[in-house]
């Protein structure tokens, strides 16, 4: 059984031979140490698109510049009803998670609601199943692939359009306009889930990074849970598995996650890095595959502590079904060789299933 086949069997609910160790994407250089890890069973869960989008009536201009030695991007969005500008700081590089920090959000005043609504309603989508198939074929069985779909609209408004401070003001003073924008986004994105449901992908990650300190339990219940319900109804009809990237503190809404129609959870990070242990998560979320993130802080510890943490995770996960111990966040360049080797060897020697 190849590492990729082992991953697929786990997501389908089968009890395989050993708890696997897997990376979310290609997070380390392709080198001798990486090749040895993969030869010894380290798996890759990669991602490829099954749909593409375009906005026929929106023009985006991006300008890169450096200020005080830091690289930034200024984006200008032009629409028939007005323009928006924003500043972003790209973070990450080769073999690590790439993201951007929103320095100056596009939303500046209530006048911008009309522009944002035009933008989201102008988006059109079409399948690109060939892109997904080509990615799978290019790897020749060396990786399993998931695909992505939008998360909760309110989360996008907070982190991509407004930023936390402006959102707090708008939520207090013009909540009806925020909700109107969210409704426009949700309506526009319905077609995406139909496209994804007909795609060759099995696993679908619909957003994530929901933090209780920002989103709050009430908004989680009012916006995230209905989003999962609506998406699951479409994806399950197409035989897909709905997943979400939940790497923050989850204790406050653990029961709601357990009752939700999620099939798998990506990036759950056990204590000491969050407020739940793996044992608590396994008890709260039965029947859901957990592709966990090995606690990031432990990578900085000696090999003996890394191995001990791996054994503790195995004890808490017994009997070990529907479990992948993974890496979903960045790891310091000077630590992955020892840390990944220690985790993999411990799983291969002591992670035989059933635990």
| Residue 201 · residue 147 · CB < 8 Å | yes
> What is the model's pLDDT at position 93?
64
> What is the model's pLDDT at position 96?
59
Average pLDDT over residues 202-213: 97
What percent of the chain has a predicted confidence (pLDDT) above 70? Answer: 98
What distances in angstroms separate CA 116 from CA 10, 61, 126, 189, one per listed residue? 41, 16, 21, 14
pLDDT tens profile 252-285: 999 999 999 999 999 999 999 999 999 999 999 9
Which residues on neighbouring strands pair with residue 46, listed in sequence order? 145
What percent of the chain has a predicted confidence (pLDDT) above 90? Answer: 94
**pTM flag (> 0.85):** yes
| Residue 97 · residue 27 · CB < 8 Å | yes
Burial of 85 (0-12, 13-18, 19+ CB in 10 A): middle
Q: What is the DSSP string of 237-248?
A: HTT-EEEEE--S
Q: At what angle do helices 113-122 and 175-197 cross, to 10 degrees?
A: 10
Phi, then psi, of 97 in degrees rounded to 5: -65, 125
> What is the model's pLDDT at position 26?
83
pLDDT tens profile 111-136: 999 999 999 999 999 999 999 999 99
Count CB-CB contacts under 10 A for residue 34.
19
> What is the model's pLDDT at position 94?
58
> What is the model's pLDDT at position 169?
98
Taking alpha carbons only, the member of 162, 251, 255, 183 closest to residue 211 is 251
Q: Which bin fits 208, alpha (ψ -120 to 50), beta or left (φ > 0)?
A: left
Q: Which residues contact 320 (CB under 8 A, 6 or more apart)?
A: 15, 19, 314, 351, 353, 354, 355
pLDDT tens profile 130-150: 999 999 999 989 999 999 999
> What is the model's pLDDT at position 162?
97
How does the average pLDDT of the chain come out, rounded? Answer: 96
Burial of 286 (0-12, 13-18, 19+ CB in 10 A): exposed
Least reliable range by pLDDT among 18-32, 145-159, 189-203, 215-229:
18-32
| Residue 82 · residue 106 · CB < 8 Å | no
> What is the model's pLDDT at position 95?
58
Domains of the chain: 3-50+132-149+203-350 (3.20.20.210)
Taking alpha carbons only, the member of 35, 37, 43, 36 closest to residue 17 is 43
Would you state the structure tokens that stand for residue 297, as one six-digit string? 């802080």
pLDDT tens profile 39-64: 999 999 999 999 999 999 999 999 99
| Residue 170 · residue 162 · CB < 8 Å | yes
What distances in angstroms separate CA 275 from CA 164, 294, 322, 346, one per listed residue? 23, 14, 21, 25
d(C-alpha 245, C-alpha 328), whole Å: 9
d(C-alpha 151, C-alpha 345), whole Å: 36
pLDDT tens profile 68-104: 999 999 999 999 999 999 999 998 665 556 788 899 9
Please compute Rg for the chain using Cα positions. 21
Q: Which residues contact 182 (CB under 8 A, 6 or more apart)?
A: 153, 154, 157, 223
């Amino acid at each position: 059984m190849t590492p990729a086949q082992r991953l697929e069997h786990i997501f389908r609910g089968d009890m395989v031979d050993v708890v696997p160790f897997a990376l979310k994407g290609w997070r380390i250089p392709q080198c001798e140490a990486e090749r040895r890890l993969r030869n010894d069973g380290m798996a890759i869960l990669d991602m490829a698109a099954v749909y593409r989008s375009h906005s026929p009536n929106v023009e985006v201009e991006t300008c890169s510049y450096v200020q005080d030695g830091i690289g930034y991007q200024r984006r200008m969005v032009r629409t028939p009803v007005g323009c928006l500008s924003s500043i972003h700081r790209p973070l990450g590089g080769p073999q690590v998670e790439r993201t951007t920090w929103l320095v100056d959000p596009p939303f500046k005043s209530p006048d911008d609601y009309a522009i944002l609504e035009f933008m989201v309603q102008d988006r059109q989508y079409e399948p690109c199943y060939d892109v997904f198939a080509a990615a799978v074929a290019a790897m020749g069985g060396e990786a399993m692939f998931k695909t992505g779909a939008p998360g909760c609209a309110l989360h996008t408004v907070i982190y991509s359009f407004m930023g936390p401070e402006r959102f707090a003001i708008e939520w207090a003073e013009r909540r009806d306009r925020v909700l109107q924008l969210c409704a426009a986004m949700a309506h526009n994105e319905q077609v995406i889930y139909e496209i994804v449901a007909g795609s060759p992908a099995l696993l679908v990650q619909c957003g994530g990074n929901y933090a209780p300190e920002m989103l709050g339990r009430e908004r989680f219940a009012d916006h995230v849970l209905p989003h999962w319900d609506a998406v699951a109804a479409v994806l399950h009809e197409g035989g897909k598995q709905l997943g979400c990237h939940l790497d923050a503190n989850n204790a406050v809404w653990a029961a709601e996650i357990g009752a939700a129609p999620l099939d798998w959870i990506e990036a759950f990070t056990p204590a000491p890095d969050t407020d739940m242990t793996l044992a608590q998560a396994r008890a709260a979320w039965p029947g859901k595959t957990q592709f966990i993130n090995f606690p990031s802080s432990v990578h900085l510890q000696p090999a003996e502590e890394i191995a001990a943490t791996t054994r503790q995770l195995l004890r808490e996960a017994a009997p070990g079904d529907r479990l992948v111990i993974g890496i979903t966040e960045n790891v310091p360049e000077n630590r992955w060789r020892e840390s990944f080797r220690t985790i993999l060897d411990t799983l291969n020697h002591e992670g035989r299933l059933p635990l």
